[in-house]
């Protein structure tokens, strides 16, 4: 029997219970149904993970990103779920034994964007008055902006998207704007809140930003086939390379590594830029490479390793070490 015929008529898709996660799970369920017309049901399950319950505390104090994935992997393991949908950005670059990244679907806009307090009309960050407060909890974002705009101030802002927007718009709050991933706003139908996006000369985005990662059980050829059929090649090449870079630099949660990548389908050439920046924005290194992609997995992975080596020659490890010891604990 061909693998195509082994695809069951019910596939259980699951993810976290946040509004964004539910939209993402539904998106993947739709992709599956469109690709496999015989599938009758793709029940979606929403789980509250440990991570959802600790949003009041800084994420880095929980060490690593497993807090978003552990409960979901338990459901995969006991077969309550067949596919777990994650924001790829939140997935660890190395998964626990027994689970694999089965596929990456078409990427939404990977950029970061500025969301201005309701009513303001600035066209770029350079127009903001001195000492304006920018809301972000991401060291990658604040470090890159400190480098370009040393006169701006940064404050942490947490909570789900609606909470963050409410804090921003509160006239009593100090925030002139907040920085968010464009993809999250677009997916939640809030594109109109994107005041302007940041280009790669201002801000390299996070590894995997804007992409969805499909986690499955290891040795599950049928679900691997389902993932292969709904995966997007361009997103896969770019994101595998970005994740390989992150893994090679041993950058975990919230370390300031930024990337920008593109894959030319006609020439099969991947271009990937990466940067590492100190928390205060004063030390910054960047490099890029181009690589011909023949074997998607092997060559994308190799691209990340090569870029990591190039960044290390320029001093990436020293910057990352100083961050690990001084700031992130």
Ligand X SMILES: NCc1[nH]cc(CCC(=O)O)c1CC(=O)O
Task: Tell me, yes or no, if 232 is annotated catalytic.
Answer: no
Does residue 257 touch ligand X according to CB under 6 A? no
Question: Nearest CA to 295 among 252, 237, 209, 242?
Answer: 237
Place of tokens 């074997």: 295
Q: Minimal distance in Å, beta carbon 209 to ligand X?
A: 4
The whole-angstrom separation of Cα 48 and Cα 72 is: 9
Residue count at the site for ligand X (CB under 6 A)?
9
Q: Which residues pair with 116 in a beta bridge?
A: 177
Q: Which residues pair with 286 in a beta bridge?
A: 275
The sheet with strand 284-292 has its strands ordered as 257-264, 269-277, 284-292
Q: Minimal distance in Å, beta carbon 205 to ligand X?
A: 8
Q: Which residues contact 144 (CB under 8 A, 6 or more apart)?
A: 202, 203, 204, 256, 258, 275, 277, 281, 284
Catalytic residue among 82, 90, 112, 220: 90
Select 135 or 184, whichever has its Cβ closest to ligand X.
184
Select 180 or 287, whichever has its Cβ closest to ligand X.
180
Q: Residues 92, 184, 256, 274: which binds ligand X (CB under 6 A)?
A: 184
Q: How far are the Cα atoms of 88, 132, 240, 289, 319 from residue 245, in angstroms, in the given order?
A: 14, 34, 9, 12, 15
Q: Residues 180, 255, 276, 316: which binds ligand X (CB under 6 A)?
A: 180
Please, which of residues 84-113 interact with ligand X by CB under 6 A? 87, 89-90
Q: Mask 42-81, x = binds ligand X (CB under 6 A)?
A: ----------------------------------------
Q: Which residues pair with 214 in a beta bridge?
A: 85, 103
Q: Which stretch binds ligand X (CB under 6 A): 151-159, 175-183, 228-236, 268-276?
A: 175-183
Pairing of strands 133-135, 175-181: parallel
Please, which of residues 204-233 interact with ligand X by CB under 6 A? 209-210
Is residue 253 within 8 Å of residue 64, measured between CB atoms?
yes
Select 180 or 241, whichever has its Cβ closest to ligand X.
180
Place of tokens 């739709």: 30
Q: Which stretch binds ligand X (CB under 6 A): 39-47, 94-102, 176-184, 307-315?
A: 176-184
Does residue 278 touch ligand X according to CB under 6 A? no
Select 212 or 279, whichever has its Cβ closest to ligand X.
212
Q: Do you know the residue count of the chain?
A: 329
3-class secondary structure, 233: helix
Select 93 or 209, whichever has its Cβ closest to ligand X.
209
Residues that bind ligand X (CB under 6 A): 87, 89-90, 180-181, 183-184, 209-210
Catalytic machinery residues: 90
């Amino acid at each position: 029997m061909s693998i195509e015929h082994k695809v069951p008529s019910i596939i259980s898709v699951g993810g976290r219970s946040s509004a964004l996660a539910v939209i993402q799970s539904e998106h993947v369920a739709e992709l599956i149904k469109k690709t496999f017309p015989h599938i009758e049901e793709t029940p979606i399950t929403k789980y509250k993970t440990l991570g959802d319950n600790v949003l009041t505390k800084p994420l880095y104090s929980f060490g690593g990103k497993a807090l978003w994935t552990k409960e979901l992997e338990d459901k995969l393991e006991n077969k309550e779920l067949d596919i777990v949908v994650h924001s790829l950005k939140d997935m660890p670059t190395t998964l626990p034994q027994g689970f694999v990244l089965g596929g990456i679907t078409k990427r939404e806009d990977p950029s970061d964007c500025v969301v201005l307090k309701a009513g303001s009309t600035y066209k770029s960050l350079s127009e903001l008055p001195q000492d304006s407060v920018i809301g972000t909890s991401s060291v990658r974002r604040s470090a890159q902006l400190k480098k370009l705009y040393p006169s701006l101030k940064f404050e942490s802002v947490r909570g789900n998207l609606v909470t963050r927007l409410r804090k921003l718009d509160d006239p009593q709050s100090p925030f002139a704007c907040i920085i968010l991933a464009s993809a999250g706003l677009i997916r939640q139908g809030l594109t109109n809140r994107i005041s302007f996006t940041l280009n790669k000369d201002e801000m390299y985005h996070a590894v995997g930003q804007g992409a969805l990662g499909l986690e499955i059980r290891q040795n599950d050829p049928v679900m691997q086939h389902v993932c292969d059929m709904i995966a997007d090649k361009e997103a896969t090449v770019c994101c595998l390379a970005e994740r390989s870079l992150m893994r090679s630099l041993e950058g975990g949660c919230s370390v300031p590594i930024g990337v920008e990548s593109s894959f030319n389908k006609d020439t099969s050439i991947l271009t990937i830029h990466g940067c590492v920046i100190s928390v205060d924005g004063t030390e910054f290194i960047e490099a890029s490479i181009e690589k011909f992609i023949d074997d998607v997995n092997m060559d994308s992975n190799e691209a990340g390793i090569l870029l990591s080596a190039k960044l290390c020659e320029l001093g990436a490890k020293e910057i990352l070490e100083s961050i690990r010891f001084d700031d992130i604990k």
